[in-house]
């Protein structure tokens, strides 16, 4: 996957210099903190729990060079990629802190050109967004395996000849479907990658038809880490973070 390789390459040098302080593999989210004060989160991706261990091959990364975990962004194991993506967000933390905020999604909607009649496709079920889009009576098609919504074949067809806008969950990075999905979008489709997992690294996406990255940057690290440990979801994490954005095509 080219995207995984680009994320690795962008942080390889820093990963050799920085050490991991903490890895917290929560039920909902994974968090990683680094020796330079960084913190990053990512969705904890697993289909189902079949044993007492979710980790295929245990390694204690705490106190180790970050490069050892960074390599797992190329793994075929979704749990390892969950930890690696959280690490990438931690390594990118100083830069992410400087990004502009978009707390009410106003800028995101402006860039995407969402207005009356806009046809929206969504990968991943974002409940607050779904509620808003329905109140605006916008045509909406959703693909979400966990919620049993949509069929891949017909959804991909809609991406090519129906949709105006695509809301794409960054969880797609964890099941390696991001590039597959983006390969199906029509030329006029405007796309946002969004969710707390989003790596706010425009350079990683400038080969893809992504118009905006909308992510979550922790502000109160202790409360975010507590939320991860306690299995609390996005809504609580947002209380102690800021919603930021960047534009890949301008990076």
Residue numbers of the domain that contains 187: 106-219+237-250
Tell me, yes or no, whether 56 and 112 share the same domain: no
Is 228 part of a structural domain of the chain? Answer: no
Q: What average pLDDT does range 59-76 have in this prediction? A: 97
- 0.85 exceeded by the pTM? yes
Tell me, yes or no, whether 83 and 146 share the same domain: no
pLDDT, tens digit (0-9, with 9 covering 90-100), for 214-234: 999 999 999 999 999 999 889
Does residue 107 have a pLDDT over 80? yes
Domain count within the chain? 2
pLDDT, tens digit (0-9, with 9 covering 90-100), for 81-90: 999 999 999 9
Three-state SS annotation for the chain:
CHHHHHHHHHHHHHHHHCEEEEEEECCCEEEEEECCCCEEEEECCCCCCCCCCCCCCCCCCCCCECHHHHHHHHCCCHHHHHHHHHHHHHHCHHHHHCCCECCCCHHHHHHHCCCCCCCEEEECCCHHHHHHHHHCCCCEEEEECCCCECCHHHHHHHHHHCCCEEEEEHHHHCCCCHHHHHCCCCCCCEEEEECCCCCCCHHHHCCCCCCEEEEEEECCHHHHHHHHHCCCCHHHHHHCEEEEEECHHHC
Does residue 46 have a pLDDT over 90? no
Tell me, yes or no, whether 153 and 114 share the same domain: yes
Tell me, yes or no, whether 21 and 75 share the same domain: yes
């Amino acid at each position: 996957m080219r995207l995984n390789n680009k994320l690795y390459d962008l942080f390889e040098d820093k990963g050799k210099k920085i050490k991991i302080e903490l890895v917290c593999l929560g039920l909902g989210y994974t968090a990683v903190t680094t020796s330079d004060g960084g913190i990053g989160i990512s969705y904890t991706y697993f289909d189902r729990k079949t044993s007492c261990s979710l980790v295929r091959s245990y390694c204690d990364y705490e106190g180790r060079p970050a490069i050892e975990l960074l390599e797992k962004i190329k793994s075929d194991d979704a749990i390892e990629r969950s930890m690696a993506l959280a690490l990438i967000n931690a390594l990118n933390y100083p830069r992410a802190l400087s990004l502009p905020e978009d707390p009410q999604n106003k800028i995101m909607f402006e860039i995407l050109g969402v207005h009356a009649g806009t046809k929206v496709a969504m990968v991943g079920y974002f409940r607050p967004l779904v509620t808003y889009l329905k109140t605006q009576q916008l045509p909406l098609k959703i693909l979400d395996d966990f919620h049993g919504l949509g069929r891949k074949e017909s959804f991909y067809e809609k991406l090519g000849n129906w949709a105006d806008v695509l809301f794409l969950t960054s969880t797609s990075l964890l099941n390696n479907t991001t590039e597959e999905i983006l390969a199906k979008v029509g030329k006029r489709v405007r796309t946002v990658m969004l969710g707390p997992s989003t790596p706010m690294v425009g350079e990683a996406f400038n080969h893809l038809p992504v118009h905006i990255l909308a992510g979550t940057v922790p502000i109160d690290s202790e409360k975010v880490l507590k939320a991860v440990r306690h299995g609390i979801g996005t809504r609580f994490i947002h209380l102690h973070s800021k919603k930021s954005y960047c534009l890949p095509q301008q990076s």
